[in-house]
Amino acid sequence: MKASSCFVISICALSLCGLTLGQRIEDICTLFSDKTVIRDPESCSRSITCLDGKSTYSTCKSPTPFFDKDTLKCVKTLPEADNCDVSCANSASLFVADPKSCFGYYYCMDEETPVYGTCPDATHFNETIQECIWSHTSECHTSNFDYCSIIKNGVNFDNVLGCDRYHVCTKGVLEDKTCKTGYYQARTGACEAKTLVRCDSHPLPKDVCGTTKSPKKNVMVPDGATCQGYFFCADKGENQVDANPQWGKCKDDLFFDKSTQSCIEPNKVVCTEDRCQGRTIPFVLSPTKGCRHYLRCVDGRTLDEKSCGNYFFDEANAVCVSQILTYNIC
């Protein structure tokens, strides 16, 4: 019940929690990298080409009316042609759930004509009662759509359940993958530096709140993704680990310091994540030993590192100075 617990905790910004499980994927191409071609989940005859997270449709015509997701060609027949169209059989004048999402549905005009629709924000479609219901009362959490029926093997695509996670189909079976380093960038289909990827809910580091043997209680721990962010591990009782710690972050130009459990001046905080993130100045001190280097920041991330030669970097004045300067981090 990750998503629903978010609604009641006030420190949880919508941008952080709303997306974990309730994320609305309005265009299927937001999952796929540029130029990926997939079969349209609604039709055996249509293909979708993804560009910039947007779908472009093409339709196969007679005498090759079907789209083959493996060869990406229009073909005469498909082995699985019976189950690749949305089925309105026996559902005329009824709504059927969209297997790709919790909020989508099809209205069957007759037994052959599904028309796609979506429930309003914060609601899910419930096929049993044929209505949109509040998402926090819904039991639909993730899609159970078989993505491997529309995409060929070996192509990475986003797993919206975590910034570092993605999927790939291998021999037609969906696999869950995790980036070894960095986060998954849907647009490029690759794992990239964390700061390059928009991430609204950082994955929990392993054992972030300790283990059942020694759970962390009422303590803030670094989020393992930014220098500003932390998780608050609540006291869940004896031998209970907080499995769902709340995320928070320091104000701009302050970093989280574990030892004092507070937000302090960045150059006092040893942190290996991108030191440009959360800073409002264009040049920041680099952790490279000697305090003679600085980082150039663009859009909250490191562009490159520069050296002051034999001089020291004076961050406050953004200049190299001959006077010896020392900081905790370098």
Ligand X SMILES: *[C@@H]1O[C@H](CO)[C@@H](O)[C@H](O)[C@H]1NC(C)=O
> Using CB under 6 A as the criterion, which residues of the chain lie in contact with ligand X when the complex forms?
126, 128-129, 138-140
Phi, psi dihedrals of residue 8, rounded to the nearest 5°:
-100, -10
| Rounded least distance, CB 131 to ligand X, Å | 9
Contacts by residues 90-99 (CB-CB < 8 Å, ≥ 24 positions apart) = 94/130, 95/125, 95/127, 95/130, 96/127, 97/125, 97/126, 97/127, 98/125, 99/41, 99/143, 99/144, 99/145, 99/146
DSSP assignment letter at 101:
-
- Chain-centroid distance of CA 206 in Å reads 18
The whole-angstrom separation of Cα 273 and Cα 262 is: 18
| Rounded least distance, CB 127 to ligand X, Å | 7
The whole-angstrom separation of Cα 256 and Cα 104 is: 40
Which residue's Cβ has the minimum distance to ligand X?
139
Cβ(106)–Cβ(96) under 8 Å?
Answer: yes
| Rounded least distance, CB 139 to ligand X, Å | 4
| Rounded least distance, CB 42 to ligand X, Å | 21
Residue closer to ligand X by CB (options 69, 124) is: 124
The whole-angstrom separation of Cα 224 and Cα 205 is: 6
- Chain-centroid distance of CA 166 in Å reads 9
Task: For residue 41, give the nearest of 125, 169, 147 by alpha carbon.
Answer: 147
| Rounded least distance, CB 138 to ligand X, Å | 4
Residue closer to ligand X by CB (options 136, 177) is: 136
Residue closer to ligand X by CB (options 140, 208) is: 140
| Rounded least distance, CB 129 to ligand X, Å | 5
Residue closer to ligand X by CB (options 83, 142) is: 142
DSSP assignment letter at 225:
S
Residue closer to ligand X by CB (options 107, 327) is: 107
| Rounded least distance, CB 102 to ligand X, Å | 8
Residue closer to ligand X by CB (options 139, 238) is: 139
Residue closer to ligand X by CB (options 10, 128) is: 128
Which position has the token pair 């006030």?
Answer: 10
Beta strand segments in 215-311, E = 219-222, 229-233, 246-249, 255-257, 262-264, 283-285, 293-298, 301-307
Neighbours of 180 (CB within 10 A): 7
| Rounded least distance, CB 154 to ligand X, Å | 32
The whole-angstrom separation of Cα 66 and Cα 60 is: 6
| Rounded least distance, CB 128 to ligand X, Å | 4
Residue closer to ligand X by CB (options 45, 126) is: 126
